[in-house]
Amino acid sequence: MERKSSYNYYLDYQLIPSTDYRGKIRYFDRFFSSFESLDEKDRLALHLDFNKALFEVGNYHRFVQSVDPLIEQVIIDNIYEHRGEKIFEGLLFKKAAALYNLRQYNGAIKVLKSLIKMDKDHRLAKNLLSLCIRKLGKTWYDLSKAIAIVLMFSAASILFAEFVIVSSFYLEYLKQVMLIRNTLILIASGLLICRELVMIWSIRREVNF
């Protein structure tokens, strides 16, 4: 029986439905060694499609491991577009998205900054960068929200006591109680506003670096 050539294996791979990502991964892994003698153009197309499949099924660990050599190859060969898409920018964005999904936010930010340097109007990259910054600041962001909620609940409790007890039995303390209640509300409101302003400032500083 005549042995199939690398190109025949490549053609069989191409027959797999475009959205059958798991099928593509299984075929690639099974016949990986059979693709070795493909010409450079077909091999690049194969690996680009395979990496897309890894990304689409959420195999981000493997995608991150395999995408760097592909990025290097694209740079070496000076290939800018593939099937109407900007290859280099697309690979960088997917790498950043994969790192984000792996909760490697600092790594994602580094990649996204490089991408935005190349294309300052890359809206998706800027949006993802904003998400990464929010995730990195999540601890203090959530803590400030928790403190504000505690202060609001305290103010609500004081308001209840103010109507039920103070206004009925301790009228001479009403002004002081109202002052404490209003102060707590102002502090809580100010904390919520400040946390948002600080987050917005941090995001804009990074996005427009």
| pLDDT of amino acid 4 | 67
Please state whether the predicted TM-score (pTM) of the whole model is above 0.75. Answer: no
| pLDDT of amino acid 23 | 96
| pLDDT of amino acid 200 | 75
Which single residue is written with the structure tokens 């103070």? 166
Which domain, by its residues, includes 124? 6-131
Are 22 and 41 part of one and the same domain?
yes
More confident residue, 92 or 162: 92
> 167-205: per-residue pLDDT in tens?
777 777 778 888 888 999 999 999 888 888 877 777 677
Last residue of a domain, one of 131, 149, 170: 131
| pLDDT of amino acid 40 | 85
Q: 118 Cβ partners below 8 Å, 6+ apart?
A: 89
Last residue of a domain, one of 112, 131, 150: 131
43 contacts 35 by C-beta, under 8 angstroms: yes
Helix, strand or coil, per DSSP, at residue 179:
helix
| pLDDT of amino acid 186 | 92
| pLDDT of amino acid 1 | 37
> 53-96: per-residue pLDDT in tens?
999 999 999 999 999 999 988 888 877 777 777 889 999 999 99
Ordered alpha helix ranges (H), 31-122:
40-56, 60-76, 87-101, 105-118
| pLDDT of amino acid 79 | 78
Last residue of a domain, one of 64, 98, 131: 131
Which single residue is written with the structure tokens 């990502």? 21
Cα–Cα dist 55/63, whole Å: 6
